[in-house]
Every structure is written in C-alpha cells, then in structure tokens.
C-alpha cells in the first residue's frame, strides 16, 4: 500500500525557515518524480515544486523560486522541502504527491502538513 507521510510543519515567524519531510512507502521511491502542492486556508491548490526520481532535476513555481529547495534521499525514501525567507503568504497546508508519469499524474497524496507564518 502506497503511503506518503508529511511532517515538519508548524508556526514560524516571517523571515524564518522550516524543513518539511515526506516519508514514502509501498512503492519504488527512486523511480518516481515527487511534488509539493500547497493549499492556503480556504483557497485552492497551488503546485510548488517537483524533483525527479534521481533527484538531479528540480522545478519550482515562481512564487517560491530562490527561497525553497526541494531534495530527496532515495536511501531513506524521503523527500524534503527546505523553506527559507518565509512570508505570511506561504501559510498553507503542504501536500506531497507522487507523480506516476512525471506529467502531473498525481496518483497518491499525503495527508498534508500545516505551515503557519505569523508574527
């Protein structure tokens, strides 16, 4: 059974940093592109970032480029999102999602972890 479990969310002040993790199980983790998608309170879905199976290719939305860094440790079946220079508008539930085809086929999602940026 595929499982994705996010952790690392919490309350942080503007300008602060946070590192999210997504622990995966039930599939060959290194084979698949993984993504972060976020959802601000009461709002819609926003794609944030993606990392290739090998971890060598990464993509970011313009809203986080230069502030967030996506990575993965295939030996630990875990993906990360290092978030620096956090802004109030980064407040959201962050979901990790497995991409079956590398083209947006998000077949499995985690339960999400809440990041709150507030003073």
Partner 1 sequence: DIVMTQTPLSLSVTPGQPASISCKSSQSLLENDGKIYLYWYLQKPGQSPQLLISEVSNRFSGVPDRFSGSGSGTDFTLKISRVEAEDVGVYYCMQSKQLPRTFGQGAKVEIK
Using the contact rule CB under 8 A, the part of the chain among 9-17, 19-27, 40-48, 71-79 near partner 1 is 40-48
Binding pattern for the stretch 56-85 against partner 1, x by CB under 8 A and - elsewhere: ---x-xx-----------------------
* Contact call for residue 20 and partner 1 (CB under 8 A): no
* CA-to-CA dists, residue 104 to 22, 41, 73, angstroms: 18, 23, 21
Among 8, 53, 112, 114, binds partner 1 (CB under 8 A): 112
How far is the first Cα of the chain from the last one, in angstroms, to the nearest whole number? 40
Q: How many residues sit close enough to partner 1 to count as binding (CB under 8 A)? A: 20
SS3 content of the chain, % helix, strand, coil (to 5): 5, 50, 45
Residue with tokens 């993606």: 50
Residues that bind partner 1 (CB under 8 A): 35, 37, 44-47, 50, 59, 61-62, 95, 103-107, 109-112
């Amino acid at each position: 059974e595929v499982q994705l479990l996010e952790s690392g969310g919490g309350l942080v002040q503007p300008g602060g940093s946070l590192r999210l993790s997504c622990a995966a199980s039930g599939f060959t983790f290194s084979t698949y592109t993984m993504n972060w998608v976020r959802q601000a309170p009461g709002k819609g879905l926003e794609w944030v970032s993606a990392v290739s199976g090998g971890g060598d290719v990464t993509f970011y939305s313009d809203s986080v480029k230069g502030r967030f860094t996506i990575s993965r440790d295939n030996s630990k079946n875990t993906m990360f999102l290092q978030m620096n220079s956090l802004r109030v508008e980064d407040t959201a539930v962050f979901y990790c999602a497995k991409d079956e085809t590398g083209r947006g086929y998000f077949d499995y999602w985690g339960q999400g972890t809440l990041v709150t940026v507030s003073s």
